[in-house]
A and B are shown apart, each in its own frame.
Chain A
Amino acid sequence: MEFYKPSTLQEALKLLNKYGENALVVNGGTDAVLDLTEGRVRPEAIVYIADLPELQSIGCEDRRVFLGGAVTYSRMEADPVLSGVRGLMECLRRLGSPTIRESGTAAGNIAKGATAADCSTMLTALRAEIVLAREGGQRRMALPDVFAGPFRTAIEPQELITRIEFPLPEENEGTGFVKYSRRRMQDIGKILVGARICVQGGVCTGGTVSLGAVNRTVVRSLDIEGRIAGKTLEEIREAVRAARPAEAVLRDSYFRHYKELAVSGAVCEALEAAWKDAVQKGAVQGKEAVL
């Protein structure tokens, strides 16, 4: 087994092209090193990408937020633009522990393909896309299409996530995130919900809702999205509580019964948080307009 620390993206892609399935990409390493230690992967080459200069940027251009493929959670938490995306901030606050957030990356969360992945869930609600680079080309893919099954993604062994992008929420859009877990800090979520909704004239004019840990992968809930459109907050609560999201397809487990009972409540809470965020942002903007 060889350890490589390429100094440019090109070099990294070249290594991935050469080793293909026999390469292991290590970013923050918070998942990958354990996979190695526990023998789940046996690569010929470890390709360490955390310091690649091409993967470090974070910012917003033409109202599109972009995050480089090696940006850590703690850098996201400290970013002034992202701090306005409430649901994402709540997601990061609940993700792992401060130490895990110093090393862990959003790209690693996506590429690992876990269903109980906090950041993948929130980014799905934010309608994020990833840019996948390989030697001699690149392509884009939307979340959650990249998730192919438990710990499986559509990312090819020769590819790297170089960038994650999502449209910055507008003034009348709010975002929310809810995580149900046994412990408040450093615990894997039992139910995850991300929400991004647009509120205009007292009704929800549309939005995106994502679920984690209640299906084989992180999913988008078109069912809930359909139920909430055109409704007031009170009507949304009623519509969501009426039935479990169709995309919550629970496998047999110790937590199944609990999840069945709790998932609608979690969706409701995420939508309430997103609603509150949208209304508050709208109110702040309204005040400025008056002044």
Chain B
Amino acid sequence: MSIVRFTLNGAPVSCEVPADALLVDTIRSAFGLTGTKKGCGTGDCGACTVLIDGVPVRSCIYLTCMADGRDVVTIEGLGGPGRLTAVQQAFMDAGAVQCGYCIPGMIMVATAFLNRNPHPTREQARESVSGNLCRCTGYQKIVDAVMLAAARLGEEGR
């Protein structure tokens, strides 16, 4: 067992886990943050995406021990009811959510993408979510949501 210390959604946390524990399982079981979904478990679908030091990472192919000393943000760390981020609000307003399972991962990826690339083209926005699978196949509205968030963030910035 290893003791791992990191920042989770802004708060310092620690846990004791086996060396091969996956971050997605630790986040969901040890910390009860079930917004992060475990989809394929093989790194393909992107539902488990979290931000580590600001960078999107698939937490189902990431060991909890690898997070030691790092800054981890899950969907719960972005915003909740009444204090949604622009990206979260845009996903609702654009009708991007169907069954919802892929959405936390989509929002994490979109958030990191817009932080770095605030004025994307539609093609760039499509590429940013290209590794995240939506089985409802609502991709158009998901890309609409990323573009809507970009436009709103742009207005705020001005």
Q: Which residues of A line the B interface, CB within 8 A?
A: 1-3, 5, 26, 29-30, 33-34, 36-37, 46, 48, 50, 96-100, 102-103, 184-186
User: Which 4 pairs show the lowest CB-CB distances between chains A and B?
Assistant: A97-B131, A185-B130, A3-B19, A3-B65
Chain A residue with the shortest CB-CB distance to B55: A102
Distance of A99 Cα from B132 Cα, bound (Å): 9
A26:B63 contact, CB within 8 angstroms? yes
**Could you say which of A5, A26, A185 contacts B131, with CB atoms under 8 Å apart?**
A185
Which chain B residues border A5 with CB–CB below 8 Å? 65, 68
| A36:B66 contact, CB within 8 angstroms | no
**Is B76's beta carbon under 8 Å from chain A?**
no
Pairwise interchain contact A102-B57, C-beta atoms closer than 8 A? yes
Given contacts A1-B19, A1-B20, whether A96 and B131 have CB atoms under 8 Å apart is yes
* 16 A-B contacts (beta carbon < 8 Å): A2-B2, A3-B2, A5-B65, A29-B61, A29-B66, A33-B43, A37-B61, A46-B63, A48-B65, A98-B56, A98-B109, A99-B49, A99-B56, A99-B57, A99-B109, A185-B127
Whether A37 lies near B130 (C-beta < 8 A) is no
The prevalent SS among residues of B at the interface is: mixed
Q: Are A100 and B127 in contact (CB under 8 A)?
A: no
Per-residue A-contact encoding for B50-85, CB less than 8 Å = 1, 0 else = 000001111011110110100000000000000000
Residues from chain B with a CB closer than 8 A to the CB of A33 are 22, 43, 61-63
A122→B57 CA distance, assembly (Å): 25
B128 contact set on A, CB distance < 8 A: 98
Residue of B nearest to A1 (CB): B19
Asked whether A46 and B20 contact (CB < 8 A) given A30-B43, A33-B61, A98-B109, the answer is yes
Closest chain A CB from B16 CB (angstroms):
12
With A30-B43, A99-B58, A100-B131 given, is the CB distance from A37 to B65 under 8 Å?
A: no
